[in-house]
A and B are shown apart, each in its own frame.
Chain A
Amino acid sequence: MEKKWKSSPVQCWGKAKELRMKIYQEIKDAKAQGKVLIGGGAESLIAIPTGFDHNILVGEPYGASISYLYKDNPDLYFQIVEAAEHAGYPRDLCAYMRNYLGSVILDKYIFGGHFPKLDFCLQAGFCDTHSKWYQAVSEIEKIPYFSLDLVPFDWEIAGESEKTKQLKRDYIVSQIYEAIEWMEKTIGKKFDDEKFIQGVINESESTSLWAKVCILNRAIPAPLDEKTILSFYILAVLGRPRQDVVDFYKELLAEVEDRVANQIAANPYERARVMTDSQPPWFALDFFRLLESYGVVSVGAHYSFGLSGGWEYDEAGKTWNAARPPSEQGVELKTREDAAKWLADWWLSTGTVCRGVRHSGIGKIQRMKDLVDKWHVDGLIVHLNRGCEGTSLGQMDFVQTLMKEGLPVMTFEGNHADPREYDEKRTFARIESFMETMGLKQVYEYKKY
């Protein structure tokens, strides 16, 4: 079959890889350079500690990186997971958490050397397991732990009252103040409000820019495929309050705009589009290559769009657009109070993954329908993820809804960070059946099995 579209590699890909490794290296070197080193989750309001000269080891991508060892260094991978299991953490717990704890217990940082000595842990309770995760870390490492208690706003279509929203907002703001005072007392350093304000602005900019990149992927042909998207979204997860992350997303946005304008495709054979749901099995991303061989491009996922993206609901259009950072709303953050209020509101209202975790049902279903519609999706591949209770919540609800509306949907069981719970060969066989169901045949040979 003839190639249908022009295609070329995304130029920013190399930079994304460099920036990711730079962040992990900085974590390794943080203590030697006199910086504060913090442990916490991706959804732990990582802009709060930006008032210190610090680095943060964000747990979920680190857990994913450990699972990737299964490909390149399986001996180390098994040492890590077995260390966690020997310590009593069972296999039905969050797979990221088990991998991370195994690395702590084994005292091995997979990017070289011992596990970095954290000063404290900071985590928001957007996911119950994550709150316990850092409690366990603090107990093992004998370091202090601050946990923020929060529940995001419900989905707009659920009609949450302004009164409860304000209560949630005030509750978070008070905890941000408390966290700042606690951190100052814990590490004996002064919190810099200017840096904090900039960190909050950067968090809003990064997540807004990422949402804009995702929106560009509505174009036909899609300028990005999901496997590449996963290399980009991760930077916001690792360090969205960082200036270099904001700068990266600005550059990426410009490149993707150019690809759309010139119809440069991720897959030159694009003739059908799918989306996935939940984290993919990180150690086995080759199924995206199998899809490509059928002329299929996976254009993204609620997970990667939502975890790193800031989205605001458009009541008139009944859809979600990129949330507007302070610069686009004509807002100037001048004080700690301004920044704390903005961060609380941004966090509670613009993250769609945390809302999926806390409020499944109609809101998540509506969001999935919106993604399918706006990104011109022909089929959905749902990873029934045994490793993450949060992102697998409500999956069968939207599967049933979308199937009833005529969308082809395929499910497969697995685990995003534990290869022992994923059968790649059977998943490939199932995808091949799914492709046939969608009336597609391979346009070129790709045979891993």
Chain B
Amino acid sequence: MIAIGYDLGSAYSKVVIMKDGKVIGKGIAKTTMEPLESVAAARDAALKEAGIDEKQIDKVGITGSGRKLIKTADVDTTDVSADAAGVNYFDKEYKTALDVGGEEARALKVSADGKVINFAVNDKCAAGAGAFVEAMTRAMQLTLEEFASASLESTQKIPINAQCAIFAESEVVSLISDETPRQDICRAVHDGIAERLTSMAKRVGLEEKVALIGGAVMNKGLVKSIKDGLGMEATVLPDPLFVGAIGIAVLAAKS
């Protein structure tokens, strides 16, 4: 049984190919103004890594905000359900998952059989998602890697109160003008996002074990802030960008 899972997110299109429950190919492409071209690029990369032809695929699953682009899937679910199935694929003990994507962040309570018990999503604002960090890196004139590393070197906790990425940017500029150490500013940005994520996690019913997924959790500074905010251990799953695509491939294979 070969299944392909498409996760068409707002920032990236991710594709995973699974054979008999194991991932054999992955592909990723930035979502552009021509989304079908992004999908094709990610799919072709996954097929190439898997070393198979598209005709060998038995089942197709589709999820993500762009999922209506593909009309002929065997399974079509929301990203919340795909995330839950993906997290469950790695370990059935995970009860809470935080998915920090480009423009959307989600908290999920997951059942032992990989279903969603409860979920919360950020509302109409990217202040709890990856785009927020990207905006702050620009304000700080740092790369994402430099920003994450600087955050880990922080020696004091300072608050950033703005709830909006635009206003937070001006707050960061004010902190720079006040000669606040840049390490502390970077941490403050991560702490601010973590606070919003923690709030969502508590709303759905925070329970161990906690999985962290989505592109933004590749930022180690943010992960530390999230763990501090949750007050418990949380695990970044392997290839956190692909967990939704894995989940939808799992659901497609079961269909």
Asked if B116 is at the interface (CB within 8 A of a chain A CB), the reply is yes
* B118 adjacent to A429 (CB under 8 Å): no
Contact assessment for A413 and B205 in the assembled complex, using a CB-CB cutoff below 8 Å: no
Pairwise interchain contact A413-B123, C-beta atoms closer than 8 A: yes
- The answer to whether A429 touches B65, judged by C-beta atoms less than 8 angstroms apart, is yes
Q: Is the CB of B123 within 8 A of A437?
A: no
Q: Is B11 an interface residue (CB 8 A)?
A: no
Q: Closest Cβ of chain A: how far from B98's Cβ, in Å?
A: 15
- A447–B71 Cα distance when bound, in Å, is 12
A262 at the A/B interface (Cβ < 8 Å)? no
Closest to A435 in B: B78
In the complex, chain A residues whose CB is within 8 Å of the CB of B205:
403
B135: interface (CB < 8 Å):
no
Cβ of B96 within 8 Å of any chain A Cβ, yes or no, is no
- B residues less than 8 Å from A400 (CB atoms): 203
Known: A436-B77, A436-B81, A449-B68. A430 touches B124 (CB 8 A): no
A433, B123: Cβ atoms closer than 8 Å: no
**Interface status of B80 (Cβ within 8 A of chain A):** yes
User: In the complex, are the beta carbons of B123 and A436 less than 8 A apart?
Assistant: no
Question: Which residues of chain B from 118 to 137 have any CB-CB distance to chain A below 8 Å in the complex?
Answer: 118-121, 123-124
Taken residue by residue from 140 to 181, chain B's Cβ proximity to chain A (1 for < 8 Å, 0 otherwise) reads as 000000000000000000000000000000000000000000
- B204 and chain A: residue at smallest CB distance: A403
**Considering only CB atoms, which chain A residue lies closest to B116 in the complex?**
A437
User: In the complex, what residues of B have CB within 8 A of residue A403's CB?
Assistant: 118, 205
Q: Which of A207-258 contact B (CB under 8 A)?
A: none
B117 at the interface (CB under 8 A from A): yes
Query: With A403-B205, A429-B65, A447-B68 as given contacts, are A437 and B119 in contact (CB-CB < 8 Å)?
Result: yes
Verify if A423 is at the interface (C-beta below 8 Å from B): yes
User: In the complex the two chains form, is B124's CB within 8 Å of A413's CB?
Assistant: yes
Q: A408-B118, A447-B68 are in contact. Are A437 and B80 (CB under 8 A)?
A: yes
Interface presence of A287 (CB below 8 A): no
Query: Which of B80, B124, B203 is the one whose CB lies under 8 Å from A433?
Result: B80
Check if A384 is an interface residue, CB within 8 A of chain B.
Answer: yes
Q: Which residue of A lies closest to B64 (CB)?
A: A429
The residue in B78, B120, B203 that gathers the most chain A C-beta atoms within 10 A of its C-beta is B78
- Measured in the bound complex, the distance between the Cα atoms of B80 and A227 in whole Å is 27
Chain B 205-236, CB-CB to A under 8 Å as 1, else 0, gives: 10000000000000000000000000000000
Establish whether residues B116 and A433, one from each chain, have CB atoms under 8 Å apart when the complex forms. yes
Contact present for B119 and A433 (CB under 8 Å): yes
- A426 interface neighbour in B81, B117, B124, B203, Cβ under 8 Å: B124
Q: How far is the CA of A215 from the CA of B127 in the complex (A)?
A: 43
Chain A hits for B203, CB < 8 A: 400
Least CB distance, B11 to chain A, in whole angstroms: 16
A433 and B68 contact, Cβ closer than 8 Å, known pairs A403-B205, A412-B123, A423-B124 = no
Check if A433 sits within 8 Å of B81, measured CB to CB: yes
- Which residue, A426, A429, A432, A433, has most C-beta atoms of chain B within 10 A? A433
User: Which residues of chain A from 411 to 449 have a CB within 8 Å of any chain B CB?
Assistant: 411-413, 423, 426, 429-430, 432-434, 436-437, 439, 447, 449
Closest to B78 in A: A433
State in angstroms the CA–CA spacing of A429 and B68 once bound together. Answer: 11
**Set of chain B residues within 8 Å of A413, measured between Cβ atoms:** 123-124
Q: Which residue of B lies closest to A404 (CB)?
A: B205
Interface flags for B102-117 (1: CB within 8 Å of A; 0: not) read 0000000000000111
- The minimal Cβ–Cβ distance linking B69 to chain A, given in whole angstroms, is 12
CA distance A432 to B78 in the complex (A): 7
Contact A436 B78 (CB under 8 A): yes
Q: List 16 A-B contacts (CB under 8 A).
A: A400-B203, A408-B118, A411-B120, A423-B124, A429-B65, A430-B121, A433-B79, A433-B81, A433-B116, A436-B78, A436-B81, A437-B116, A437-B119, A439-B115, A447-B68, A449-B68
Closest 7 pairs (CB-CB, A-B): A433-B80, A413-B123, A433-B78, A437-B116, A436-B81, A432-B78, A423-B124
Which residues of A come within 8 Å of B, CB atoms?
A: 384, 400, 403, 408-409, 411-413, 423, 426, 429-430, 432-434, 436-437, 439, 447, 449
| Given A426-B124, A436-B78, 10 additional A-B pairs, CB 8 A | A413-B124, A429-B65, A432-B78, A433-B78, A433-B116, A436-B80, A437-B80, A437-B116, A437-B119, A447-B68
